Amino acid sequence: PTFQNPGGITLTAPRRSEVIELCRRAGVLVVEDNPYGLLSFTGEPVRAMRADAADDVVYLGSFSKTLAPGLRVGWALAPPAVTARLVLAAESAILSQSMFTQLAVERYLATQPWTEQVKAFREMYQERRDAMLDALDEAMPAGASWTRPDGGFFVWLTLPDGVNTKAMLPRAIAARVAYVPGVGFYADGSGGISMRLSYCYPSPERIREGVGRLSAVVRDELALRDTFGSHPSRP
């Protein structure tokens, strides 16, 4: 719900309550998958859904975005009966977690100024988010629209009608820029005119260069569309 992948958007407080209420009535547990929650650019972290509904929510946290993805360490906070079953399921799937990486994380949290490190990440990602939004404002053709994330890693870009971002991807790669086509995030084959852009890894300079290359590819694609007609955005 918070700085979501791929949209970069955040579920509002009233909608959080509505989701919990609907699921409570239907006897359905909510999974709150929140790996980006600490990476807020506006100061205070967004209040977790679990904070107001501990019996209804299984909360998932991860050290992948604030320490190192390669450690493969995360955590779950769940109602006790669910926790017991999660432990059984984990044991049957993977026998045993790596004790070494968990102890490394435990030492890191106990001995290092990790909140300062998260703050440094927030500032770094905010600078990259700003670079991406400025570059999009500057370079994208009319009719394109995009989200303005308040945290996390992603911008969701939607192109004018008649362009298919999956079909366009090889041309983008030939121009040495890449994205994830929107269709990859839908079960029903929609999302064909959208794409996920990530600003977490490249420097602001590389982000500006990448957005510039991408908009050149998009402009070529729109010129093709105008000449030869629309590409179907759904299969």
Ligand X SMILES: Cc1ncc(COP(=O)(O)O)c(C=O)c1O
Where do contacts with ligand X occur on this chain (CB under 6 A)?
5, 33, 35, 62, 64, 69, 74
Query: How far is Cα 2 from Cα 4, in angstroms, rounded to an integer?
Result: 5
Helix (H) / strand (E) element for 87: namely helix 80-94
- Least spacing, CB of residue 161 vs ligand X, in Å: 28
Nearer to ligand X, 64 or 190 (CB): 64
163/183 with CB nearer ligand X = 183
- Closest Cα partner for 48 from 21, 28, 20? 20
Residues in the chain: 235
CB of 165 to ligand X, least distance (A): 19
From start to end of the chain, where are the E strands?
A: 30-33, 57-62, 74-77, 145-146, 154-158, 180-181, 194-198
Query: Cβ of residue 227: shortest distance to ligand X, in angstroms?
Result: 38
Q: At what angle do helices 165-174 and 204-228 cross, to 10 degrees?
A: 120
User: Least distance in Å: CB of 156 to ligand X?
Assistant: 13
Rank residues 164 and 198 by Cβ distance to ligand X and give the closer one. Answer: 198
CB nearer ligand X, residue 69 or residue 184? 69
